[in-house]
């Protein structure tokens, strides 16, 4: 393309001598190239490269009625407004519980690496250490990948590993819930439960904490 056609269509009236017209074999490709680039631009701009990513989530089925089994190594996280997280370990005891246990205190943390990440790494130290050991073996090629995956999921499912319960109030955002699930996954917490209703006593305590 772009070779400017040398002999336009001229050659008229230049004298009587008739010559066989020597026509250039080149075709002007400019319009075609214009079109090609137009299409190229269109496809580049409209095509979606990355398919959306997704996170798999399983919700608990409705629990059977009656008293709930005791939670072993459980940590309950209460998500609330302004990206705040309150948590407590173990069972919840209201101030005037019949068992006479000390009332549960809510502790506050946040989504920063110094907050939630550090906390979960400490709480779930046992599982993290076990998985680190397995990962070292896996790296040294003494443990096959599939075996490593299976053993790691055994570790996170062990009763010594923590179970995280995520409860939200009406002010928490969806992003908070997803960030929470994400952080739990990073910190090898295999037992994650989202979608448990907050108890009235927990809610009341949370309200006093956030000062409302």
Q: Provide, rounded to whole angstroms, the least separation between the CB of residue 198 and another protein.
A: 11
User: From CA 27, how far away is CA 4, in angstroms rounded?
Assistant: 9
Which region among 67-75, 88-96, 110-118, 144-152 touches another protein (by CB under 8 A)? 110-118
125 lines the binding site for another protein (CB under 8 A) = no
Q: Which is nearer to another protein, 103 or 135 (CB)?
A: 135
Task: Select from 58, 142, 159, 208 the one that contacts another protein (CB under 8 A).
Answer: 58
Q: Which is nearer to another protein, 33 or 204 (CB)?
A: 33
User: From CA 202, how far away is CA 212, in angstroms rounded?
Assistant: 14
Strand partners, 164: 75, 192
DSSP state of 116: I
4 lines the binding site for another protein (CB under 8 A) = yes
Which region among 13-21, 134-142, 149-157, 174-182 touches another protein (by CB under 8 A)? 174-182
Task: Select from 17, 18, 145, 174 the one that contacts another protein (CB under 8 A).
Answer: 174
Task: Select from 7, 11, 37, 204 the one that contacts another protein (CB under 8 A).
Answer: 37
Which region among 16-24, 49-57, 64-72, 99-107 touches another protein (by CB under 8 A)? 49-57
User: From CA 176, how far away is CA 99, in angstroms rounded?
Assistant: 34
User: From CA 52, how far away is CA 10, in angstroms rounded?
Assistant: 59
DSSP state of 29: -
25 lines the binding site for another protein (CB under 8 A) = no
Task: Select from 12, 14, 55, 66 the one that contacts another protein (CB under 8 A).
Answer: 55
Dihedral, CA atoms, 195, 190, 175, 59, nearest 10 degrees? -30
Q: Which is nearer to another protein, 52 or 67 (CB)?
A: 52
The position carrying tokens 């190594």 is 73
Task: Select from 93, 106, 126, 179 the one that contacts another protein (CB under 8 A).
Answer: 179
Tokens describing residue 82: 């302004």
Task: Select from 59, 99, 142, 208 the one that contacts another protein (CB under 8 A).
Answer: 59
Strand partners, 78: 86, 167
Burial class (CB in 10 A: 0-12, 13-18, 19+), 116: buried
């Amino acid at each position: 393309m772009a070779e400017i056609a040398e002999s336009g269509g001229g050659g008229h009236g230049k004298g009587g001598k008739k010559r066989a017209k020597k026509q250039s074999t080149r075709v002007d490709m400019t319009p075609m190239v214009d079109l090609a680039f137009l299409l190229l631009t269109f496809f580049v701009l409209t095509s979606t490269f990355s398919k959306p990513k997704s996170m798999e989530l399983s919700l608990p089925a409705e629990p059977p009625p009656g008293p709930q089994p005791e939670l072993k190594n459980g940590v309950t996280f209460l998500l609330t407004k302004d990206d705040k997280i309150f948590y407590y370990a173990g069972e919840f005891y209201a101030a005037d519980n019949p068992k006479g246990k000390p009332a549960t205190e809510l502790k506050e943390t946040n989504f920063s690496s110094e907050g939630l990440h550090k906390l979960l790494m400490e709480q779930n130290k046992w599982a993290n250490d076990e998985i680190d050991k397995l990962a070292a073996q896996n790296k040294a090629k003494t443990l096959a990948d599939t075996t490593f995956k299976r053993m790691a999921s055994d570790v996170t499912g062990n009763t010594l590993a923590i179970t995280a319960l995520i409860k939200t109030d009406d002010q928490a955002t969806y992003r908070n819930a997803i960030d929470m699930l994400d952080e739990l996954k990073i910190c090898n917490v295999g037992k994650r439960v989202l979608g448990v209703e907050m108890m009235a006593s927990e809610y009341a305590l949370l309200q006093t904490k956030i000062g409302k």
